[in-house]
Amino acid sequence: MFDFQKRKRKHSELNQGEVDSEAFHKKVRSVILDGTRSLVDSVRSLGYLKEETDAVKEPLPSQECRLAALCEMAKELPLVDDEEQECCSQSLVAEDGCSSHVDLFSGLTENRTDRAAVVTLMGEEYVIPPHTAFLLSDFTRIQPLVHYGRMFDLVVMDPPWENKSVKRSRRYSCLPSSQLKRLPVPLLASPNCLVVTWVTNRPSHLRFVRDELYPHWGVEVVAEWFWVKVTTSGQFVFPLDSPHKKPYEMLVLGRYRPSVDLSTRFVLSYHFFRITCMKFQMLTTAVSTCKITTTLCF
């Protein structure tokens, strides 16, 4: 009986990470609550939100697993030597307007035309916007991007942060925080480039980005935004005080060696699920007032 009570009491104790997360939540709770109410009221007055409460629906199919499969496949590709990595990029559409048969995993691929192109990979279709390029590879093999010879005004990162839920489900591989320092951001960022990183609600990840990762790259934090997720009727997608999942995430914005005052802002999303492409679309809309001509997403 004594052993059972001891185990039960020990199980209920929070670890240091959970204690830190709860303290962080208490610190930002009123900001999240008041800011969301204000934004929801403003958005509803414009007719973007429903008045009725959302009905429970089946979750939409997620692209997360298929994208993870692409990443896992990239890890199995043979290493490319330096000479091959310095090769020019390949065109997705040939000069005669027909789609080229290219190896999407071999190097940088460009759509040099004035219209979007569609590629099929692993049974899925992907739309490639005009005048864009992409590199499909493991993050340790991005030398072709460095040799591409272009600098970027906006760098967006959505790292696969380590967390218990992902480890248990094995939906995708996590990446230790320290490995992010290997990304050659200083070689890719133009002067005053805006560097944006999505961060989970673990304070340790936020501290790492602010105190280690950005200084390592010569990036100065200029703003921290909250991405608040609500339903189509303006309700939080998860209870605000849920001990498991919070209805918000952090977004850390920095400038490549800038000198701007720190500020905090909100971004409100009324979608149900976390989709990386939606994050990028929403972010580019939020920063549309900036003069951004070239964008890089990790």
pLDDT of residue 237: 93
| DSSP-assigned letter for residue 125 | E
Nearest Cα residue to 32 out of 181, 197, 191, 237: 237
Token pair for 182: 């290997």
Token pair for 174: 């996590």
CA gap 130, 207 in Å, rounded = 37
b or e along 179-200 (b: 16 or more beta carbons within 10 Å of the residue's beta carbon)?
ebeebebeebbbeebbbbbbbb
pLDDT of residue 213: 95
Residue with tokens 């219209």: 115
pLDDT of residue 275: 38
Sign of the torsion angle spanned by Cα atoms 286, 246, 20, 68: negative
Q: What is the CA radius of gyration of the chain?
A: 21
DSSP-derived secondary structure for 140-151: T--HHHHTT---
Residue with tokens 């989709």: 275
**pLDDT tens per residue across all 298 residues of the chain:** 555 554 544 556 778 888 888 999 999 999 999 999 999 999 888 888 877 666 666 655 555 556 666 666 666 666 555 555 555 678 887 655 556 567 777 688 899 899 998 888 877 888 999 999 888 877 777 888 888 888 899 999 988 887 665 555 555 566 778 889 989 999 999 999 999 999 988 899 999 999 999 999 999 999 999 999 999 889 999 999 998 889 999 999 999 984 444 455 555 544 433 334 445 455 544 554 455 567 677 7
Token pair for 94: 């040939």
Helices (H), 13-159: 16-45, 64-75, 82-85, 143-146
Longest dimension (CA), the chain: 80
Beta-ladder partners of 189: 152
CA gap 172, 125 in Å, rounded = 21
| Phi (first) and psi of residue 291, to 5 degrees | -85, 90
Name the pTM for this structure: 0.74
Strand 109-111, strand 132-134: pairing: antiparallel
Token pair for 26: 């208490």
Contact assessment for residue 246 and residue 165, using Cβ atoms and an 8 Å cutoff:
no
Cβ within 8 Å of residue 34, ≥6 positions away: none
pLDDT of residue 259: 46
CA gap 266, 222 in Å, rounded = 14
Helix (H, G, I), strand (E, B) or coil at 102: coil
